[in-house]
Amino acid sequence: MARLTLPTDEATIRSLRVGDFVELSGRVITGRDAAHHWLVQSFRQEVAPYLKDSAIYHVGPVVRKNPDGTYGFVAAGPTTSAREEPYQATVIGMYGLRGVIGKGGMGRKTLEGLKKFGAVYFHAVGGAAQVLAERVRRVETVFMLEQFGVPEALWVIEVEDFPVVVTMDAHGGSLHEEVERHSQQRLQELLGAAG
Amino acid sequence: MWQEPELTERFVSVIARASTQLPSDVVEALRQARDQEDEGSLARKALDTMLRNVELAQGAWQPICQDTGTPLVWIHHPPGVSTRMLVRAFTEAVKKATAQQLLRPNAVDPLTEKNTGNGAAPGIPTVHCEEWDEEALEVRLLLKGGGCENVGAQYTLPNAELGADRNLEGVRRCVLDAVHRAQGQGCAPGILGVCFGGDRGSGFVESKRQLLRPLHDRNPIPVLDELEQRLLREANQLGIGPMGFGGKTTVLGVKIGYLGRLPASYFVSVSYMCWANRRAGARISPQGDITWLD
């Protein structure tokens, strides 16, 4: 199990390959549907420093507000990344992201973006909201909470030993494309063998 | 008979259980799946994480998954109970559970694009009420997340591309196609609720109601039981595996129901439920005592 501290650099990211288990530590920013749409509309100066050389986490967390005004993540597993496919490569390029954390993988456009800009896709286990929330050590700040609501806001968090698997790398490798191809072949065999 | 506030409290308990305690049949199925996967494989690792997550959620009474889904509830009630009161009480329970972080504020107004913040909005929660002859109230709840809801599919038969005619073989072809299309996106290994017949709306509702059946529940209709077992076997031959990482377990169960159809229509509706199959069932006695159901 490799350990990786965020923010990171291009050479480190390009050394990762599909199938690598990685534990992430450091600063990560969350963002999902509304955030991606917002990030590509214009360059968002206020959040840019948090995205540079770090990773965006596709998640809509359950959040507790503590009596002292701070926040805590109660449940925080990944959401389906495919919905960000139209925006992701642009966001990576615009803000200099080195990683995308999510589930289900992403398509061709993102894969090209990862290769071009030097970034990878980290797959977290969907539904594992408690295991992953436990790895969120601190909520640093939040953007667009009022406008987007709790699940869609951009939360800046600090994670420690956050477990992920590289399923799309910066060399054009994608586990999702492999599995899809294989299951397509099996499907054709099963449909050929009519009952 | 029940007062609205006490019923609301009982409903909060049902929601808490569904959101935090994974049913034992599903946990057992995940354990068996884990034991079948190769040591050191991504599939086994993913299943290990799921099982650990289930334990953590159970101990802390915190949501298994942060997407606490659409609350879909089916209530059977004795004669004379106001269904408007039941809907009000359940909606209030959703708001309370949201305030307690048992549910995420999960309802968005699509016109204003604002999250309502309290978990409720028109159509959320979805409450189905049906009268029966018993004295007790029966509540069956499913919390169905958005990721798996997005990979649900509806087919109209015949479908030339799939070679699917209007018969059970046609249903089989649709279901296998739906599993392939879903890949890992719906948080595999999933559970499939299927309905053939009905209209576009009722077909999907019935397919979801099928998801209330425990995994070990066998279909009383022999041809459907056979089809359920066969599809479970065949879907697992697709090799999609947990989270779409590749592996032996893609589906944990297949449940099939049907509804009457028009001569012109033959729908096959497939609802995909993620591995975090959050369902809870309870009987509430006239005195307010809860008995948990499978």
Residues B203-215, buried b or exposed e (16+ Cβ, 10 A)?
A: bbbbbbbbbbbbb
* One domain, residues B136 and B163: no
pLDDT > 90 in chain B, percent: 99
Q: Cα–Cα distance between B173 and B168 in angstroms, integer?
A: 9
In a domain, B52, yes or no: no
Residue ranges of alpha helices (H) inside chain B are: 4-20, 24-36, 42-60, 83-99, 146-150, 168-182, 200-209, 222-235
In a domain, B117, yes or no: yes
Per-residue pLDDT tens for A10-49? 999 999 999 999 999 999 999 999 999 999 999 999 999 9
Which residues of chain B are within 8 Å of residue A63 when distances are taken between CB atoms? 101
Structural domains counted in chain B:
2
Which residues of chain B are within 8 Å of residue A30 when distances are taken between CB atoms? none
Instruction: Give me the pLDDT at residue B264, please.
Output: 97
* One domain, residues B181 and B253: yes
In a domain, B211, yes or no: yes
* One domain, residues B101 and B212: no
Which residues of chain A are within 8 Å of residue B230 when distances are taken between CB atoms? 195
* Whether the predicted pLDDT of A195 surpasses 60: no
Taking Cα atoms as reference points, which of A116, A96, A114 lies closest to residue A105? A114
> Which range of residues forms the domain containing residue B78?
4-21+63-145+278-293
Which residue in B226, B243, B249, B250 has the most chain A C-beta atoms within 10 A of its own C-beta, making it the best mutation to test that interface?
A: B243
Cα first-last separation, chain A = 45
* One domain, residues B138 and B8: yes
* One domain, residues B118 and B169: no
Which residues of chain B are within 8 Å of residue A195 when distances are taken between CB atoms? 169, 172, 230
Q: Cα–Cα distance between B232 and B101 in angstroms, integer?
A: 35
In a domain, B49, yes or no: no
CB contact under 8 A, A195 and B169: yes
A184 touches chain B (CB under 8 A): yes
CATH number of the domain at A2-192, out of 3.40.30.10, 3.30.920.30, 3.20.130.10, 3.90.1530.30?
3.20.130.10
CB contact under 8 A, A77 and B117: no
A174 touches chain B (CB under 8 A): no
* One domain, residues B96 and B212: no
* One domain, residues B245 and B210: yes
Neighbours of A163 (CB within 10 A): 19
Q: Cα–Cα distance between B110 and B43 in angstroms, integer?
A: 37
DSSP symbols for B263-292 = TT--EEEEEEE-SS-EEEEEEE-TT--EEE
Three-state SS at B168 = helix
* Whether the predicted pLDDT of A194 surpasses 60: no
Q: What are phi and psi of A142, to 5 degrees?
A: -145, 145
Q: How far is C-alpha A138 from the chain's CA centre? A: 18
- Is A36 known to be catalytic? yes
In a domain, B47, yes or no: no
Average pLDDT over residues B240-262: 98
* One domain, residues B211 and B282: no
Where in chain A are the domains?
A: 2-192
pLDDT > 70 in chain B, percent: 100
Residue B131: which CATH number? Answer: 3.30.1330
Per-residue pLDDT tens for B130-175? 999 999 999 999 999 999 999 999 999 999 999 999 999 999 999 9
Cα first-last separation, chain B = 25
* One domain, residues B250 and B156: yes
CB contact under 8 A, A186 and B101: no
Instruction: Give me the pLDDT at residue A193, please.
Output: 61
* One domain, residues B101 and B119: yes
Which residues of chain B are within 8 Å of residue A190 when distances are taken between CB atoms? 176, 234, 237-238
CA atoms within 13 Å, Cβ hemisphere of A147: 7
CB contact under 8 A, B57 and A129: yes
* Location of structure tokens 């009982």: B10
Taking Cα atoms as reference points, which of A65, A39, A73, A128 lies closest to residue B50? A128
> Nearest by CB to A62, which of B63, B115, B246?
B63
- Write out the H or E segment, with its range, that includes residue B192: strand B190-196
Residue B148 Cα, gap to closest chain A Cα (Å)? 9
CB contact under 8 A, A129 and B42: no
* One domain, residues B121 and B159: no
* Whether the predicted pLDDT of B238 surpasses 60: yes
CB contact under 8 A, B45 and A128: no
Residue A132 Cα, gap to closest chain B Cα (Å)? 8
In a domain, B229, yes or no: yes
* One domain, residues B117 and B231: no
Tokens of B102: 């048992």
Instruction: Give me the pLDDT at residue B1, please.
Output: 80
Tokens of B126: 């979805």
A124-143 residues touching B, CB cutoff 8 A? 125-131, 133-134
User: What residues form DSSP beta bridges with A25?
Assistant: A5
DSSP symbols for A140-170 = EEEESHHHH-TTTSEEEEEEEEEEEEEEE-T
Per-residue three-class SS string for A57-88: ECCCCEEEECCCCCEEEEECCCCEHHHHHHHH
Residues B154-190, buried b or exposed e (16+ Cβ, 10 A)?
A: bbebebeebebebebebbbbbbbbbbbbbbbbbbbbb
In a domain, B103, yes or no: yes
CB contact under 8 A, A75 and B42: no
Average pLDDT over residues B254-271: 98
CB contact under 8 A, B240 and A64: no
Residue A186 makes CB contacts below 8 A (sequence gap 6+) with B237, B238, B239
Per-residue pLDDT tens for A50-102? 999 999 999 999 999 999 999 999 999 999 999 999 999 999 999 999 999 99
Per-residue pLDDT tens for B201-210? 999 999 999 9
